[in-house]
Structure 1
């Protein structure tokens, strides 16, 4: 019996045309697009690095996948479940940058 490879198995992370827009400024009129149509897929067993400059949306993407931040549009799945589903969150560790541990 052979095991499926990363290309045929269900993806661990699947993101399709993901967008996240924040409102900022006086009366929240200014729009800031943190994610603009992000699409990616990470298969089981793949090694994946999320790299980019400051402000590229790396943290926002992780927060959307964990359900900490809600997406504006698009699709996001973590471990086969919709982004933010409790079964996915239970299996992922997240330590925010700059977090102070008592």
Structure 2
């Protein structure tokens, strides 16, 4: 994920700004990791989002920033519980089967 910021910043000539943003993100990630380090079991986190206009909710999976952030914070992404290899349309059956500890809706 951080490599994407480096690559984009290099293309835009904004390496210093990217370093500031990356440093802030790394600090927040470390803070989140310290808050959950004593948990015995990683909470399951379902992240739902539209992926385009007029689409229903999608379960965000590998290759999404949200997926990476859940893992970095010590959680188990909901897509892993369903064995999804990419973001996929969500159904009420998926949500019931998954029974996640947390559901995050992204606009």
Q: TM-score, normalized by length of structure 2?
A: 0.25
Q: With the length of structure 1 as denominator, give the TM-score of the two structures.
A: 0.26
Structure with the higher fraction of residues in strand conformation = 1
